[in-house]
């Protein structure tokens, strides 16, 4: 049986976050807390591990932003999905070669590197490369 080839860098590994805009962020957070048991803080994290690498720790962040938050750019959607990527530079290079709309803004934090793209419907998508395993930084969430 042939040995499977490793996937090329620049892959999506999972969902790193789901962010909503709301005219009443505090009330919406309270509703999710009261009815679905979400924590009462601004961001809630859901830790998980992958089947192919159970040692790798990941998390998905859920957070509500104010309705007019500039964090969502000019997206018409009141939500934004954050995807975890294995190699942000490789993915952005491939997307640029495919003429995908890429925001020139980049952010580097102790909890990872971020970039943004826009899909054909104008929805903003956040790309997140967590710190590499063994680094002194953590991957447990976002304070943005």
Domain boundaries, the chain: 12-129
The predicted pLDDT at position 86 comes to 93
Residue 75 has pLDDT above 50, yes or no: yes
Q: Residues 6 or more apart from 6 whose CB is under 8 A from it? A: none
The predicted pLDDT at position 133 comes to 65
What single DSSP character describes residue 72? Answer: G
User: Which of 23-27, 39-43, 108-112 is least confident?
Assistant: 39-43
Tell me which residue of 101, 94, 142, 108 sits closest to 125, measured CA to CA.
Answer: 101
pLDDT band per the 50, 70, 90 thresholds, residue 35: very high
The predicted pLDDT at position 1 comes to 55
pTM, two decimal places: 0.81
Q: Residues 6 or more apart from 119 whose CB is under 8 A from it? A: 125
pLDDT average, residue stretch 5-23 = 87
CATH architecture of structural domain 12-129: Roll (3.10)
């Amino acid at each position: 049986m042939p040995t499977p080839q490793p996937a090329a860098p620049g892959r999506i590994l999972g969902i790193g976050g789901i962010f909503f805009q709301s005219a009443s962020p505090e009330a919406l957070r309270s509703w999710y807390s009261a009815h679905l048991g979400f924590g009462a803080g601004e961001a809630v994290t859901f830790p998980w591990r992958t089947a192919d690498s159970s040692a790798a720790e990941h998390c998905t962040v859920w957070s509500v932003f104010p309705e007019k938050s500039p964090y969502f750019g000019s997206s018409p959607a009141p939500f934004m999905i954050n995807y975890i990527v294995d190699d942000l530079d490789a993915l952005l290079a491939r997307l640029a070669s495919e003429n995908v709309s890429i925001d020139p803004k980049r952010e580097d934090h102790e909890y990872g590197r971020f970039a943004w793209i826009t899909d054909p419907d104008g929805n903003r998508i956040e790309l997140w490369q967590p710190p590499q395993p063994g680094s002194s930084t953590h991957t447990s969430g976002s304070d943005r």
